Structure 1
Amino acid sequence: DREAQILRRALRRERVIRARLDILSFPDDFLCERYRFSAQSIIYLDNILRPYITHVTHRGHALSSLHIICIALRFFANGSFLYNIGDAEHVSKATVCRAVRNVTVALKRLLYSSVVFPGHRPTRFIKEGCHKIAGFPGVIGCTDGTHIPIIAPSVNEGDYVNRKSFHSINVQVHSSL
């Protein structure tokens, strides 16, 4: 039995630890293309999300909060499969899944302190008005997005090509009564 244990240990694959990239060392156009955020914005997100996503561990190779955020941002940015994100970020599918979940839960915790509807009218009046217009109870506002076609700019032209391959500016509109 002792010999079998020694043999199993000898045959066990050696663990390979890859050096982690310094994500913030890349230029902003590279970061925006992959994560849809600049270095400054990623640092901001790291500062507010770190307390909610950092894992206390005794293992020496845990992902930093910055890497966890970037993995989730890459998933949010392109909506690809977990395997594809994992391959691109050099982590497992399970790690991508955990990163996306942890960042999503952290963002949800900050929802009510970060998302505030503008306006001076009491929400009761807004709810009544939306109900009269559309018949939906309890609605205080609507948000929608659209792509406004534009002529291709001469600077950063590729940043303005949307998923349907035409140049546009993505606009979000919020309305409340």
Structure 2
Amino acid sequence: MKKAGFPNVVGCIDGTHIRITGPSIDEPAFVNRKGFHSINVQAICDHEGRFTNISARWPGSAHDSHVFRTSAIGQHLENGYRGIGQGVLLGDSGYPCRQFLLTPYRQPAAGRGQARFNRRHCSTRSTIERTFGIWKKRFHILGSEIRMKPDKACRIIIACGILHNIAIMRNEPEVAEEQLIDNQPQMPPYNGPQDGKGIRDHFATTFFA
């Protein structure tokens, strides 16, 4: 992913809530923190705004970190990640900082590249937010309300994700996107602690100090 000079990014991850009609079974679980019924949809996108992974199976009350931890991609990375040579995901502070999922510094220290890391991280991660916006405008049902049972709503959400990718591959008209610029720097070898904080510090001091 070439954006804002942030190296080794293979995707940006975030969750979005798709409004649904309140179900008759387990209704309270579908009420999200904003007070409406929804499915909490986790997605990863590439630099072109294509979805590389979508998980639509959790009710709105589920936290993003829980959705990620129990998702197929989360478990795959937890068990099979072998280092930053495989690339990293970028996520917001709703996720834990892991060796394969970098999040912003909550209180960036002065003079260590952490504030610049946060700015570049934000600029790159905005790709998923922009993708969600385009997706919901392309399929209006995603931006209004799906008036079906949760299991059918989840199938519609996944189908819309597939159709979104097809639309991009076919160059269908869409909301204008910013041009993605900047060359991605080369990632030097890293032999430090294999945890999220250590790898995040490596990015900050190597590229943003």
Larger helix proportion, structure 1 or 2?
Answer: 1
Superposition TM-score, scaled by structure 2 size = 0.24
Q: Which one has the largest radius of gyration?
A: 1
For normalisation by structure 1, the TM-score amounts to 0.27
